[in-house]
Amino acid sequence: MIAGKKQPMSKSVLDASALLAYLNEEPGADAVEQALIDNAVISTANWAEVLSKVAEIGADPKDLEAELERQGLLGQSLKIEPLLSEDSLHIAKLRTRTRSHGLSLGDRACLALGIRLRVPVITTDRAWEKVDLDIEIHVVR
């Protein structure tokens, strides 16, 4: 960060599914692109999910990371946000409220980060629409 220059506030949190839709040019990619233009974050847990999917198809996750940095996406439009112990408490508390809808630990990590940052979360998972939480959820497909 340049001295005296404030970093832009993130306006949304991306779930792994949302970032993967963008990277794979799937339905919903346009909405994710707009979120990236407006500055978005992704939790370390969700970033690990994205990199795991890359490894699963036989590609090198390090290559994706380097490419996104080269494009100015990673570290600029998209920041990776560490999870804090307070997020862990939210993740745990969300378990009982989301279990019947099939939300994973990664899903709850995304929601917990959105709760902490007080910004909307973006996903492609329609099951999130059924969860009654005090957070804005945008399902992009």
Task: For 12-126, give the CATH class.
Answer: alpha beta
- Tell me the pLDDT band of 10, cut-offs 50, 70 and 90: confident
Nearest to 124 by CA among 11, 15, 34, 51: 15
Mean pLDDT of the chain: 93
**Residue 1 in tokens:** 């960060």
pLDDT in tens, 23-75: 999 999 999 999 999 999 999 999 999 999 999 999 999 999 999 999 999 99
Mean pLDDT of 89-97: 96
